[in-house]
Amino acid sequence: MKSVTLTRFLLEQQRQPNSTCPAELRLLIETVARACKAINHAISKGALGDVLGSLGTENVQGEVQKKLDVLANDLLVDANEWGGHLAGMASEEMDTIHPIPNRFPRGEYLLVYDPIDGSSNVDVDLSVGTIFSVLRAPSECAGREVREEDFLQPGTEQAASGYAIYGPQTLLVLTIGSGVYEFTLDRELGAWIMTDGPIKIPSGNCEVAINMARRPQWSPEIVRYVDDRLTYEKAPCGRAFNMRWTGSMVADVHRILKRGGIFLYPSDSRTPGKARLRLLYEANPMSLLIEQAGGSSIDGEGRVLDIQPKSLHQRVGLILGDSAEVSALKDIVLA
């Protein structure tokens, strides 16, 4: 069977009747994929490339920036700002938006991304990733400079989303609204080759991904759900759930996507509105992928993709995975 490259896949999608992948979106995704190859190359050098450790600075989130966070952010900006596909970019590592400079042509899309998810894992040689989301720029952007409010679109408006995971293999997982597909980087050819898809989340897997260290912050409903799933007598599958947690959202969600189960990073019940994950850079792109693979994603009560963002760096609780498990947890929370 002939290998299907990312470029061939996107071209075939572009040629479909009522295509969800016009040429400009195809070229943008290919540019992001090339930047991810460059990030993978930097990660693979580790200490030899002086990419480990922190810079001693903080990003807008108040988090200490790793060297790799800044390097990956710069690689994505440099790769995308001159291509003519974007009106602007926004990143977890930048205080505000990055409009496309006037010296470059502007396109009709907006790119938001987390350049390195789980960057603390790099120093101990564990998997990390890059998460991205593509939005359409509002039509009024054609006659003016792009603004922050142009990025504040609900997740249902995403034209595409995906992530790269830098692990034993380097993978690109992508949706353009017509299913979820996985591509593996062939390092000898330098090409992304399709290795799975359309992906559907397996049902009935007794596995939960959650950070137990944050148990004091959970609501009583989340405590009850997790305790029930980790107890042999109460777990619905006839045995206690396995618990997995890597500290890299990309790695944990990828396992859910491929093996099933449920991922939880709930809001802090002690402080209303306090949560960990960013809506635009993490929750929305992952939620679109999960829904396209037949799963569900909620913030604890309602659908994540329906949330109207109020700010660029807004945070939300996130529960996603097997629809049956997400529904069971929602019933407990809303009871």
Write out pLDDT tens, residues 27-69: 999 999 999 999 999 988 878 777 777 765 656 665 667 888 8
Task: Please check if 116 is assigned to a binding site.
Answer: yes
pLDDT at site 144: 80
Task: Please check if 148 is assigned to a binding site.
Answer: no
Residue of 217, 316, 332, 314 whose CA lies nearest to 271: 217
Give 333's pLDDT tier (boundaries 50, 70, 90).
confident
pLDDT at site 40: 94
**Mean pLDDT across the stretch 244-265?**
95
Question: Domain-by-domain residue ranges, the chain?
Answer: 6-196, 207-334
- Who's near 177: CB < 8 A, 6+ residues apart? 20, 158, 159, 160, 288, 292
pLDDT at site 123: 82
Task: Please check if 119 is assigned to a binding site.
Answer: yes
pLDDT at site 263: 97
- Who's near 52: CB < 8 A, 6+ residues apart? 46, 67, 68, 122, 123
Which CATH architecture group holds 207-334?
Answer: 3-Layer(aba) Sandwich (3.40)
The span from the CA of 36 to the CA of 197, in Å, is: 20
Task: Please check if 298 is assigned to a binding site.
Answer: no
Q: Do domains 6-196 and 207-334 have the same CATH topology?
A: no
The span from the CA of 110 to the CA of 119, in Å, is: 24
**Mean pLDDT across the stretch 246-251?**
93
Identify residue 155 by its one-letter amino acid code: G
Task: Please check if 69 is assigned to a binding site.
Answer: no
**Mean pLDDT across the stretch 101-116?**
94
pTM score: 0.94
Q: Indicate whether 15 pLDDT > 70.
A: yes
Could you give the percent of the chain with pLDDT greater than 90? Answer: 71
| Residue written as token pair 């994950």 | 277
Q: Indicate whether 335 pLDDT > 80.
A: no
Point out the least confidently predicted range of 15-19, 44-48, 179-183. 44-48
Do 256 and 263 touch, CB atoms closer than 8 A?
Answer: yes
pLDDT at site 210: 96
Q: Indicate whether 273 pLDDT > 90.
A: no
CA distance to 76, 273, 311, per residue, from 183 (Å): 19, 36, 32
Task: Please check if 120 is assigned to a binding site.
Answer: yes
**Backbone phi, psi, residue 126, to 5°:** -110, 165
Annotation: CATH topology of 6-196:
Fructose-1,6-Bisphosphatase; Chain A, domain 1 (3.30.540)
Task: Please check if 287 is assigned to a binding site.
Answer: no
Task: Please check if 248 is assigned to a binding site.
Answer: no
Task: Please check if 207 is assigned to a binding site.
Answer: no
The span from the CA of 318 to the CA of 301, in Å, is: 10
User: Tens of pLDDT along 122-143?
Assistant: 788 789 999 999 999 998 777 7
Q: Which residues of 210-243 are buried (b: 16+ CB within 10 A; e: fewer)?
A: bbeeeeebbbebbebbbebbbeeeeeeeeebbee
pLDDT at site 155: 98
pLDDT at site 201: 97
